[in-house]
Amino acid sequence: MKRKAFLGAVLHAIFAVGLAASVLWSCNRRQESVVPIGAILPMTGSGAQYGEEVRKGIELALDEINSDGGIKGVPMRLILEDSATEAKTALSAFEKMTTNRQIQVIVTEVSGVVLALAPKVNEKKIILFNVGAQHPEVRECGPYVFSNIDDATVESKALAEFAFNRLKAKKAAVLYTNVAYGEGARAVFSDTFQKIGGTIVAEVPFNEDGLDYRAQIGEVQKASPEVVYLPGHTKDMAKVLKQSYEIGFKPQWLSYTPFEGPDVLTIAGAAAEGVIYSSLSLDYDNAPPITKRFFDKFKNKYTVAPGTYSATGYDAAILVANAVKSVGNDATKIREYFLSMPEFQGVSGPTKFLPNGAVEKPLIFKTVRNGRFEILDK
């Protein structure tokens, strides 16, 4: 009896081990049944509209990739975490996300988030793909950080030169959001404008998500600038323009890529007319076929027109898919692919990574004309 009991116990243990191994193998097979692409985006907080834009762009790209057979027959899937537009929350999201060792690329945006995550991704050798952050320091964040959007070094410099050379302005002010990307944009614009012969008469910060900006606007007004550079979140910029218009201060406003958002038209209204801003070459009325197709597919899926960050998010997913198809889902090999790939013709413009992972895409100047975002010089 003892012998039978012993043999029964042994057989039961063998069965249990076999069952556990079978479950583990099954789980691993399930993990291998998709190629994940990570994203830590501001789905809440002050940058929520930008996170939503990127999410939609990535998901549209994945629809196309997977309908075309995925990655050698394996579908790509988005693994999304909310950064809440905060560095601390983004770091927690990163720790959670990287427990999945298959995630080799994480798409993100917001300057403070990118700057906070950079040391982590370089340490763990995971690609951080920035589609929206524009702080100048992003281009020096290390070997595993790539961007497919111009940073403030490009945009703010171009705007300063435009103000001095094209608008013939000699006195400029900067009214900027008091966070990392706003400070970076301020520094580049002011330095460039002064170096080419202009004078900066005021530099005034304002807080994100404020209600009343009249005190800051008044401070700028006292300095009598000919042009005012306004880098900030779309909704904040819209409120600044509206309140400035209401108190009768109507300088030539300048802004940059994030300016083009629906909040500008709905909140600022007539106060937005005539604002000049830099942008990626996303002129959908005169776009190349690849961009027109993207625009039509996006509008058909979401019933709204795509924004800049929908385009950069879409291109990011396509670039990652191309890399994984070529070299496999390995961050070190993907990095080498990005640095050596030929110029990629994306919907957000041509992408060719510099040795530091940055890009310098062609810019255009746009304006608000009759309640529409349009090319400045048609």
pLDDT for the residue numbered 26: 37
The pTM assigned to this predicted structure is 0.82
369: β partners: 372
28 vs 49, higher pLDDT? 49
Task: Please give the structure tokens belonging to residue 43.
Answer: 């789905």
What is the rounded average pLDDT of the residues 273-280? 92
pLDDT for the residue numbered 135: 85
Indicate left, alpha or beta for 328 from its phi (over 0: left) and psi (-120 to 50: alpha).
left
- The C-alpha atoms of residue 117 and residue 107 are separated, in whole angstroms, by 11
162 vs 153, higher pLDDT? 162
- pLDDT over 60 (residue 22): no
DSSP, residue by residue, 98-135: TTSTT--EEEE--HHHHHHHHHHHHHHT-EEEESS---
Q: Are 84 and 95 in contact (CB under 8 A)?
A: no
Cα of 87 vs its chain's centroid, Å: 15
What is the rounded average pLDDT of the residues 17-24? 39
- pLDDT over 70 (residue 364): yes
291 vs 165, higher pLDDT? 165
pLDDT for the residue numbered 182: 87
- The C-alpha atoms of residue 78 and residue 60 are separated, in whole angstroms, by 11
- The C-alpha atoms of residue 117 and residue 234 are separated, in whole angstroms, by 24
- The C-alpha atoms of residue 359 and residue 349 are separated, in whole angstroms, by 11
185-211, pLDDT tens digit by residue?
Answer: 999 999 999 999 999 999 999 998 788
Indicate left, alpha or beta for 313 from its phi (over 0: left) and psi (-120 to 50: alpha).
alpha
58-117, pLDDT tens digit by residue?
Answer: 999 999 999 999 999 999 999 999 999 999 999 999 999 998 778 999 999 988 899 999
Geometric angle at alpha carbon 277, from 276 and 282, rounded to 5°: 120
Domains, the chain, ranges and CATH? 37-150+287-359 (3.40.50.2300), 153-283+365-375 (3.40.50.2300)
Task: Please give the structure tokens belonging to residue 203.
Answer: 């530099």
154-163, pLDDT tens digit by residue?
Answer: 889 999 999 9
